Amino acid sequence: MKGADEDVHPYATFGYLIGELQKRANNGKELAYISLVEPRVSGLIDVKKEDQTGDNDFISKIWKGVLLRAGNYTYDAPDFKKVLEDVDDGRTLVGFSRYFISNPDLVYRLREGYELTPYNRDLFYVGNGWGYNSYNIYGKEVLTTEEEARNQTPVALKALSI
């Protein structure tokens, strides 16, 4: 990972910032949480795990409060060891975004270790429910056509009844 000015590494900059926030927390002025997103996307393209050049793990060594982390949790599917490690530390909340779209039952799949349905980025911002309402709950066929997706209750609402 390189910064715009190669003489100052981002770890130094953010390490200092997080250290100062921790000092404030130690003096009774703690933030509710720090939100981190792993560097797994470049523009609109996912970066392969082996091509990533850094992570945010160093922050948890400095900050002792609550962390909200997102990104990199699907690389070790279906075991999800990283997400389990993070939630077991008692201070980390995890976030999923794109995989919630294609897996309306995501929490269930993570808990059971089931395969995740890949998302289709081309359907993220279409003008109807196709791509949002058309993904299946694990082991159940929900919708089959675009017309059905436009006229049906979002699958995510149905997933709540699992």
| Residue-wise pLDDT tens digits, 105-125 | 988 888 888 888 888 888 777
* Whole-number pLDDT of residue 91: 93
Residue with the bigger pLDDT between 102 and 51: it is: 102
Contacts of 63 (CB under 8 A, 6+ apart): 18, 21, 22, 25, 34
Q: What angle do CA 50, 55, 61 make, to 5 degrees?
A: 140
Predicted confidence band of residue 161 (pLDDT cuts 50, 70, 90) = low
pTM over 0.85: no
Tokens of 74: 């699907």
pLDDT exceeds 70 at position 150: no
| Residue-wise pLDDT tens digits, 86-99 | 888 899 999 888 88
| In the block, residue with structure tokens 């390189």 | 2
